Amino acid sequence: MRRNQLRIDSLFLLIALVFGALPLVAQDEAVECEEDADYGERAQAAVVAEEFDAAIDAYTCLIERDAEDYEAYLGRAIAALLAGVENADFSFNALGDLDQVAAGAPELIDETIARQTAEIAARADEVSPYALRGYFYLYLRQVDRAILDFDRVISLNPDSQFGYLYRGISNLLLANDAKAASDFRQVADGEIDNPSVLALIGAIYTERQQGEEALEYLDQAIALDASNPEFYSYRAFANTLVEDFAAAEADYTAAINLDPENADYYAGRAYIYSLMGRSDRLIADLTEALDSAPDYQRG
């Protein structure tokens, strides 16, 4: 296996970590829930009306009532995915919700695939059933099947950022690097409002030790949102890969200024100082890391 070719589980772990780190979503914000409201009916009506944020809020209220309502986790995942399909409004929390479903009621995932397959048989020219089934196949690591569905999404809607993003991830999992790069370029060249999508692609490239490619996407992400410390942290790593240590130092400093309690950023900058031979600053940052988290161990 080539150095820059990740195993499937490794790349999925990276994606999960990045999705969890980025500030994504409506469902992470406080939702005010009414005690007697019929949130099941409200959620379904909102999905039909393509009011996906409202659907996500309604499903969140169902989950607050019952943390083991796996139908609600599934519904919230599908609403988040549909927002990406229909509006290029990516939230990515579907991954965490599907983990809940897989742990508590895994049969619901198979049932959803079957339901989307029936939808495709009835409405072969609709994008969303292919997109949902493709995502669920990708979640199950059935990557060849996922790519076929994302191909169909793009065939039906050549401007689908959802299709290109997830086909790109699928192509990476199959080590089709050139195809993945082409898909990611389609995402970056489209109209995109969520910099987390670009940061995700950049973070994937940093994990693959491809610093120049990572910088292209992380620069775009920061241009769209200069207030996210994680973006600077990822770009610092990418700058380290291309041995631009001054830029890496500046990025870690920006991350620290935005989140001064994060020990990882001090430790990262300390590592840069070690590469630059600046031992005095290295020691100062390691001390800050330990002061921020006395039991600190960098992952």
For residue 21, pLDDT over 70 is answered with no
Mean pLDDT in the chain? 87
In this structure, are residues 87 and 127 in contact, taking their beta carbons and an 8 Å threshold?
no
| Percent of the chain residues past pLDDT 70, beyond the cut | 86
What pTM was estimated for this model as a whole? 0.80
> Do 254 and 229 meet the contact criterion of CB atoms below 8 Å apart?
yes
More confident residue, 37 or 10: 37
Tokens 């409506």 sit on residue: 26
- Residue 16 scores a pLDDT above 60: no
Helices (H), the chain: 8-21, 39-48, 52-65, 70-87, 94-104, 107-122, 127-139, 143-156, 161-173, 177-189, 195-207, 211-224, 229-241, 245-258, 263-276, 279-292
Reported as a single tens digit per residue, the pLDDT across 237-292 is: 999 999 999 999 999 999 999 999 899 999 999 999 999 999 888 888 888 878 76
Strand, helix or coil for residue 260: coil
Which tops the pLDDT comparison, 4 or 99? 99
Contacts with 299 (C-beta within 8 Å, 6 or more apart), sequence order: 264
pLDDT, position 6: 36
Q: Is it the case that residue 18 has pLDDT exceeding 50?
A: no
- Determine the pLDDT at residue 26: 37
293 or 35: which leads in pLDDT: 35
Using the predicted structure, report yes or no on whether residue 150 has a pLDDT greater than 80.
yes
Which range has the worst mean pLDDT, 86-95, 113-122, 180-189? Answer: 86-95
Give the chain's domains with CATH numbers: 124-187 (1.25.40.10), 194-299 (1.25.40.10)
Summarize the confidence of residues 42-53 as an average pLDDT: 95
pLDDT of residue 295: 61
